[in-house]
Amino acid sequence: MQKDSSHHHMISIIVGTRPEIIKMSPIIRECQRRNIDFSLLHTGQHYSYEMDRIFFEELNLPVPDHHLDVGSGSHADQTGAIMSGIGRVYEEERPDVVLVQGDTNTVLAGSLVAAKMRVPLGHVEAGLRSYDRTMPEEVNRVVSDHVGDWLFAPTEKARENLLKEGIDESKILVTGNTIVDAVYQNLEIAKKRGDALKTFEVRPKEYFLVTAHRQENVDNPEKLQHIISALTTIHKQYTIPIIFPVHPRTRKMIDQFQIPVNGIFLTDPIGFFSFLQLESKARLVLTDSGGVQEECCILGVPCVTLRENTERPETVDVRANTIVGTEPERILAGVQKMIGGSGGWSNPYGDGTAGEKIVNIITKRAK
C-alpha cells in the first residue's frame, strides 16, 4: 500500500536498529493486513537507511516514509539528533499514536518527543529490567515506561516490574512478545531463501553458535580473551564446529590483542535469515544479546549468556538459559549444564499473537 506521507496517519511506528525492525515487523504486517493507516519512521541509529533498505525488502516490509539517518555518535548527540528529527516530522504529521519498541536511544528520543507533544505513546516490550543502571539500555527502558500511555508488557514478570515502580495498572497490558510472532513469520521466509547449514557445511544439532557484541565484552581485552579461550576449550572438549559471526570491531580487537583462535570458525557478520536458520538448528548458543536469548528460548535451543545479568529472567526460570559472565570456568560449566539439560521447556513469551493483540488495543483505545 503506497501511503501519502504528507497527510495525518493514525499510527506512527518508530524504528532505529535491526532488532527493533524485527520486533515491530508483526505489528507492521498486522496494520497492513487490516488496512490500518500507519507511517514508518526509521532513525538510522545503527546503519544508514541505504544499508537497511535491503533489510526491509528481505522482511517483506514497506519502505519507511521518513528516514533520519542520524548514524552513530555519543549517546547525547545521537538522542538529541533523533529527537529533533522526530519533532520535525510530528510537527507536520501529528499522528494519533506513536509506537516505540525496546530500549535504544531511538526509543528514548521517540518517547520524549511524544510525551512533550502530548501524542499517546505505546511502548512495545515494556517492563524489562536488568536493575543495572550502568547500562544505557536500562535508562532508556525506564524513561519510556514512565512517560508511556500504553505499556505492552511481554510477560507477567514485566508487568510486576512496572507495578513495583508505581505505574498505573490501567496502562499495563500483557500481550506476549512480538519476537515470537517474528520468529515464526521470519523462519517461514528464511526457508524459502536457501539453506545456511549447507553454506557452513554443518548438520543440525552438530555445531555451536556464538555472538558477542556488547561493548563491555568486546572492547575489554581481558574479557574478550576469556571468551575466546573458553571457546577454544569447548571446541577441544566437544569436538564440534563453533560458528562465530564476528563484528568487524571485534575482529579488529582479536587481531590487535593477538588473541589465539583455535577451532573456532570466525566468519563475517551473516544475514538475518541465515542467522535465524543457524540459530534454530544449533546444539547450543553462546551470546551476550538479549534478543538471541529470547529467540533461543522460543526455538527450543539451549542458551549460555556471556553477561553478569539479564533483563530476560523468564528464559532462566524455564531453564532455557544460564547466565555465566565471561570467566572461562563459568562458561564451561554453563555449557555442560545446558547440554545436559532436558530441554522441552515451555515458551514464556506467548503464543505468537502479540502483534495482533497490540493492534487490537490501539484501534479500540485510540478512537
Long-range pairs, 353-357, Cβ under 8 A, ≥24: 353/176, 353/181, 354/26, 354/152, 354/154, 354/175, 354/176, 354/177, 354/178, 354/180, 354/181, 355/26, 355/27, 355/29, 355/30, 355/178, 355/181, 356/26, 356/30, 356/181, 357/173, 357/175, 357/176
8 Å CB contact between 208 and 243: yes
Q: What is the mean pLDDT of residues 119-131?
A: 96
3-state SS assignment for residue 220: coil
Reply yes or no on whether the pLDDT at 334 is more than 70.
Answer: yes
Domains belonging to the chain, first-starting first, are 11-177+351-365 (3.40.50.2000), 189-340 (3.40.50.2000)
Please state the φ and ψ torsions of residue 287, each to the nearest 5 degrees. Answer: -155, 165
- Kindly tell me the sign of the dihedral angle through the C-alpha atoms of 286, 289, 290, 292: negative
First CA to last CA across the chain, in angstroms? 23
pLDDT, tens only, 266-304: 999 888 899 999 999 999 999 999 889 999 999 999 999
Mean pLDDT of the chain: 92
Euclidean distance between CA atoms 110 and 250, whole angstroms: 30
| Cα-based angle 209, 294, 193 (whole degrees, multiple of 5) | 60
Question: pLDDT > 70: what percent of the chain?
Answer: 96
The most confident of the ranges 170-174, 258-262, 308-312 is 170-174
Burial class (CB in 10 A: 0-12, 13-18, 19+), 256: exposed
pLDDT > 90 fraction of the chain, expressed in percent and rounded: 75
pLDDT classification of 366: cutoffs 50, 70, 90? low
CB atoms within 10 A of CB 2: 6
Residue 7 has pLDDT above 60, yes or no: no
pLDDT at position 214 is: 80
The single residue listed with the C-alpha cell 564440534 is 240
Q: Provide the whole-model pTM.
A: 0.87
The residue ranking higher by pLDDT, 248 or 74, is: 74
Instruction: Considering only the C-alpha atoms of the chain, give the largest distance between any 2 of them, rounded to a whole number of Å.
Output: 61
Active-site residue set: 213
Has residue 2 got a pLDDT over 60?
Answer: no
| DSSP for 241-301, written as a single string | -EEEE--HHHHHHHHHTT----SEEEE----HHHHHHHHHH-SEEEE--HHHHHHHHHHT-
Judged by DSSP in three states, 347 sits in coil
